[in-house]
Amino acid sequence: LVETALLSILKSPGPFAFESLIQTFREWTLEEGGTIFQQGTPLSLGPVLCVLAHGVVDVMLTPAGSSDAEKVCTYDRPGQTFGDLEFLFQPDLGGRSATRKLRWATYQARTDVTLWVTDRETFNR
């Protein structure tokens, strides 16, 4: 599942790099209502790339000046990936800072969820 998902977002990883990347993933289970990413938290915290194995994840956005979250996206198919933009466009761009440093939305488990995740620190080892 992880291999197929990664092949869909990476053009042509070398065999060694690809195998090394797959080895950085770990299984993470969350109960219904669990938060994967919280809007406004630093990109450097939490997983950087998630592959959905089972369950339903809603993406909730609270617009500036509002206290009400709006559902903007749902992930419900095994193999779907999210967080990959943060993975591909890391906050540290060779000494230059990325424009966005905070999570843009909250990702929340609508049902019990199983993910395969990697974080920046583990991946960079």
- The lowest-confidence range among 23-27, 69-73, 96-100, 119-123 is 96-100
Contact 52, 75 (CB under 8 A): yes
pTM over cut 0.85: no
Q: What is the pLDDT of residue 93?
A: 46
Extract the tokens encoding 18: 């690809």
- The lowest-confidence range among 75-79, 98-102, 120-124 is 120-124
pLDDT in tens, 69-96: 999 999 999 999 998 666 655 555 455 4
- The lowest-confidence range among 42-51, 60-69, 104-113 is 42-51
- CA dist., res. 90 & res. 80, Å (int): 20
